[in-house]
Chain A
C-alpha cells in the first residue's frame, strides 16, 4: 500500500512539470513535438523510410515528387524522402553529441576558471577571448584541418569534435559568469574551510547550482551544431558519402541539376531549416522557463 503511494507521487509530479512547461511555453511545446517527431524518424529510420537510402536505381533517376517518391529522387535514383529521414539520424546524433560534449567541456572550463580566479582565470579568459574572435565555422574548419577524418559506424568522431570545440569558449564564458556569483556564496567558503578538495567543491557544491545555465546552453547549441554540421557537409568537409546527411545532399552534383530537379535542393534544405527552427524555438523556451532573466 505504502509502496504504491510512493511510486505514484513522483510520477504525478513529473507529469505536472511537463504539463507546466507546455502551458507556460506553448511555442516550446509545439517545437518539442517537431523535435520528437524527428527523433522518432531518426531512431526508427529503417522502419519509417519507404526505401533504402543507399539503393541506386537508375530507372528512377531524377524522378519528380509523386506517390512513389514523395520528395523525388536524386541523380542516382535514390529516394530523397528516405535519405532525409536517415539524414535526421545523422543530424541529431551529431547535433546532440557535439553540443553535449562542447557544452560540458565549456562548463568545466568556465566553472574552474571562476573557482580559482586570479592568474588561472586570467589565462583561461585570454584563451577564451582569442577563440571567440573567430566565427564558429572558421574554428571548426581549422579543427577539421588539424584532425582529419575518423569515421566510426558512419559517424565521424573528429567531425563531432570539430563542431564541439567552437562551442566550448562560448559556453565557458557564460558558465563562468554564473559561476562567479555561486563562488561568492558563503557555503563555498564553508566547504573550503571544511577542507574539501577543489574537485569536490566544484563538482558537489558549484555544479548543481550551474545546471540551469548549462542546460540552457546545451539546448541552445544543438541548433547551432546541426547548422554547422550541414554547412561542413555541404563544403565536403563534414559527413562523407554515402552516409545520408542533409548538407551533403545539397552539395556536389545537386546544383548541376537545378533545372531538371529542383526538389533535390528544396527538400533537404527544408529539413535543415525546420530542425534548426524547432531547436531554436525549443532552446528559447527552455531558457525562458528555467531562467527568465538569462541572456546569452
Chain B
C-alpha cells in the first residue's frame, strides 16, 4: 500500500514537468508581457529605456532557456518565484487566498452531496414517475445555469427578501464561524448546484444498475427489510462510481470558483487567477497552473485510495 502511494507520487513528477514545460513556453511564444500591460496601461508615455530596465529587473531579458532553468531550479525547492506585478512571492500570494477558496470548495462539495444523494436516490427508486422527471429537470437545469448567474440571483433574492447582502471581507472560520458562514454559504450554493446536478445523475444511473444485480434479488428473497436492502446493499455499492465523480468534480471546482468569486467579490484563488491572466503576470500564472495540476493529481490519488478502502475487492500493490 505505502509502496503504491509512493509510486503514484513519483509518477506525478514527470507529469508536473510536462505541465511546467507546456505552460512556460506557451506563455512566452507570443510577444507581449507584464511590463507592457503594467507600464503602457495609462497611455504609453513611457520610454523604451524604462521598459527595458523593468524587463531586466524581472529577468525577462534573459534567453528563454535560462529563464526556464531559473524557474525549474526554484521549483525543486518549492520556490515559485515572485509575482511580476506585485513583487511578492507567488507562494505567499496563493497562500493568502487558499484558505477562503478551499473552504468554499469543501462547502460546495458538502452542499452538492446533501442535495445529490436524496435526489439521485429518489429518482432511481421512483423511476418513470413524476419524481424522476422533476429530478431530471432540476439536474438538467443545474447543468445549464452558469454559476455566476445563479450567484447573482442568490444575491438578488437576499437583497429583496432581507435587504441584506453577504459581507465582502473574509473572516476565518475559527475566529467567527457565524460571520464566516454567512459570507461563504452563498457562493458555495451557487457552485454546489451544478456540482450536485452532475453527482445526482451519476447516483441515479449507478443505483439503477445496482438494483438489477443478483445480490439485491437475493437479499429481498431472504426477506431483508427493503430499507436495509437499500442502505446496506444497494446504496453502498452505488456510491462507488458516485465517489469518482464527486472527486473529479472537486478537483475541477477551481473552474467554478474562477467566475463565482468574481460575483461575490471574494478575494480567492479564482479571482487571483483572473487577475494574473489579465495582467500577463507570467510567474503567477505558472505557479497557479502548477498548483491546479498538483491538486488534480492529489485528488485523483485520494479517490483511488478511498475506492480501495470502500471496496474490499480493490487492492493496490
For A141, the chain B residues whose CB sits under 8 A away are 258, 273-274, 277
Contact indicator per residue, chain A 274-294, by CB within 8 Å of chain B (1) or not (0): 101100110000000000000
| Residue B22, interface by CB 8 Å | yes
| Residue B255, interface by CB 8 Å | yes
8 Å CB contacts to A: which residues of B283-306?
285, 289, 292-293, 296-297
Whole-angstrom distance between the Cβ of A169 and the nearest chain B Cβ: 12
Q: By the criterion CB–CB under 8 Å, are B22 and A230 in contact?
A: no
For A227, the chain B residues whose CB sits under 8 A away are 144, 146
The residue from B23, B255, B263, B285 contacting A136, defined by CB atoms under 8 A apart: B255
Q: Which of A80-88, A104-112, A232-240 is the contact stretch?
A: A232-240
Q: By the criterion CB–CB under 8 Å, are A250 and B152 in contact?
A: yes
Q: By the criterion CB–CB under 8 Å, are A259 and B259 in contact?
A: no
| Residue A258, interface by CB 8 Å | yes
For A231, the chain B residues whose CB sits under 8 A away are 146, 148, 258-259
Query: A223 vs B143: C-alpha distance in the bound complex, in angstroms?
Result: 10
Q: By the criterion CB–CB under 8 Å, are A142 and B26 in contact?
A: yes
Query: A258 vs B264: C-alpha distance in the bound complex, in angstroms?
Result: 13
Query: A234 vs B23: C-alpha distance in the bound complex, in angstroms?
Result: 24
For A230, the chain B residues whose CB sits under 8 A away are 146
| Residue B30, interface by CB 8 Å | yes
For A265, the chain B residues whose CB sits under 8 A away are 149, 152-153, 156
For B280, the chain A residues whose CB sits under 8 A away are 145
Query: A272 vs B145: C-alpha distance in the bound complex, in angstroms?
Result: 8
| Residue B85, interface by CB 8 Å | no
Q: Which of A48-56, A67-75, A127-135 is the contact stretch?
A: A127-135
For A273, the chain B residues whose CB sits under 8 A away are 141, 144-146, 149
Residue of chain B at shortest CB distance from A254: B152
Q: By the criterion CB–CB under 8 Å, are B254 and A138 in contact?
A: yes
Q: By the criterion CB–CB under 8 Å, are B258 and A126 in contact?
A: no
The residue from A126, A148, A235, A237 contacting B30, defined by CB atoms under 8 A apart: A148
Whole-angstrom distance between the Cβ of A95 and the nearest chain B Cβ: 13
8 Å CB contacts to B: which residues of A130-169?
130, 133-138, 141-142, 144-148
Q: By the criterion CB–CB under 8 Å, are A145 and B277 in contact?
A: yes
Among A136, A145, A146, A273, find the residue whose CB has the most chain B CB atoms closer than 10 A. A145
Query: How many residue pairs between the two chains, A and B, have CB atoms under 8 Å in the bound complex?
Result: 123
8 Å CB contacts to A: which residues of B90-111?
none
| Residue B278, interface by CB 8 Å | yes
Query: A272 vs B153: C-alpha distance in the bound complex, in angstroms?
Result: 14
Q: By the criterion CB–CB under 8 Å, are A277 and B141 in contact?
A: yes
Whole-angstrom distance between the Cβ of B95 and the nearest chain A Cβ: 19
| Residue A255, interface by CB 8 Å | yes
Q: By the criterion CB–CB under 8 Å, are B254 and A272 in contact?
A: no
Query: A274 vs B262: C-alpha distance in the bound complex, in angstroms?
Result: 23
Query: A266 vs B152: C-alpha distance in the bound complex, in angstroms?
Result: 9
| Residue A269, interface by CB 8 Å | yes
Q: By the criterion CB–CB under 8 Å, are A276 and B274 in contact?
A: no
**Known contacts A138-B289, A273-B144: does B277 contact A237 (CB below 8 Å)?**
yes
Query: A138 vs B146: C-alpha distance in the bound complex, in angstroms?
Result: 16
For A276, the chain B residues whose CB sits under 8 A away are 143-144, 146
Whole-angstrom distance between the Cβ of B286 and the nearest chain A Cβ: 10
**Known contacts A145-B277, A231-B146, A265-B152: does B140 contact A134 (CB below 8 Å)?**
no
Whole-angstrom distance between the Cβ of B9 and the nearest chain A Cβ: 15
Query: A231 vs B274: C-alpha distance in the bound complex, in angstroms?
Result: 11
Query: A138 vs B156: C-alpha distance in the bound complex, in angstroms?
Result: 27
For A127, the chain B residues whose CB sits under 8 A away are 18, 22
For B178, the chain A residues whose CB sits under 8 A away are none
Contact indicator per residue, chain B 232-275, by CB within 8 Å of chain A (1) or not (0): 00000000000000000001101110110011000000000110
**Known contacts A227-B146, A273-B144: does B274 contact A126 (CB below 8 Å)?**
no
For B143, the chain A residues whose CB sits under 8 A away are 276, 280
| Residue B72, interface by CB 8 Å | no
Whole-angstrom distance between the Cβ of B141 and the nearest chain A Cβ: 7
| Residue B2, interface by CB 8 Å | no
**Known contacts A235-B274, A237-B274, A280-B143: does B258 contact A133 (CB below 8 Å)?**
no
The residue from A130, A138, A148, A223 contacting B273, defined by CB atoms under 8 A apart: A138
Can you list 18 residue pairs at the A/B interface with Cβ under 8 Å? A133-B296, A137-B255, A138-B258, A141-B258, A145-B277, A146-B27, A146-B30, A148-B32, A250-B149, A255-B263, A259-B159, A262-B156, A269-B146, A269-B152, A273-B149, A276-B146, A280-B143, A280-B144
Known: A135-B252, A269-B149, A281-B140. 17 other contacts (CB 8 A): A137-B259, A141-B258, A141-B273, A141-B277, A142-B23, A146-B27, A146-B30, A148-B30, A148-B32, A227-B144, A227-B146, A234-B146, A235-B274, A250-B149, A258-B159, A265-B153, A273-B146
A contact residues vs B (CB 8 Å cutoff): 126-127, 129-130, 133-138, 141-142, 144-148, 223, 227, 230-231, 234-237, 247, 250, 254-255, 258-259, 262, 265-266, 269, 272-274, 276-277, 280-281
